Amino acid sequence: MNLTLSTTTYSRLLILSAVSGACAVILFLTLVSGRQTLPVMSSCLPAFRDGGGPYYKPDSPFRTRIVPAGTEGKPMIIKGVVLSSDCSRSVPGAVIDIWQANESGSYEDEWYRGQVTADAEGNYEFETVMPRGYGEGTGYRPPHIHFKVFADGREIVTSQMFFDDVRGREGFSDEYIVNLDDKPEQLIGTHHIVLPDFP
């Protein structure tokens, strides 16, 4: 592959080469390509489609903290990247609408719900607490967080993210489970959202 370098780009190459070897080359290639570094994923599995359940309420406020001050429960930050269907690019400006049960397993009208907007690199983040599972009919719903994603002015998917207690169970792929890092002061969760049918 031939690259035609402008004077400015050539000057950058000379400066970077003087810094040292591999790191300079990597940084230079990043400057030339202008490409974002996307998360490394074991597979590119789109979020599954879900009906959303009876507790969704439209027009939740935009806020990064979806729980009230002084709430009980283990504090948790969930963050990740919103990605296209083939994981080749992020989706800046996507809106993630979140709702979940509280630490007692109940849904509330005002809190434990909210919307966040992905930044220029498709990153999203919100603060919450670990939800509690709850009974549903004769069954049991393990802890989970509901979400909808809107992009290009339309709803793309309604889905859910789960936690380690369902890992290995039939129907719960690892891509649907939040990767948790249990810090002393809070949980840090990573969950990348791959949008179905969104090239």
35 CB contacts (<8 Å, ≥6 apart)? Answer: none
Q: Give me the architecture of the 75-194 domain, per CATH.
A: Sandwich (2.60)
Judged by phi (left if over 0) then psi (alpha if -120 to 50, else beta), residue 16 lies in: alpha
Average pLDDT over the chain, rounded to whole?
87
End-to-end CA distance of the chain: 27
Give pTM, 2 decimals: 0.81
How many other CB atoms are there within 10 angstroms of residue 164's CB atom? 12
Identify the residue whose tokens are 């049960």: 101
Residues 99, 113 contacting (CB under 8 angstroms): yes
Domain extent listing, the chain: 1-35, 75-194
Which long-range CB contacts under 8 A does 14-19 form with residues at least 24 apart? none
Instruction: Inform me whether the pLDDT recorded for 2 exceeds 80.
Output: no
**Per-residue pLDDT tens for 65-85?**
999 999 999 999 999 999 999
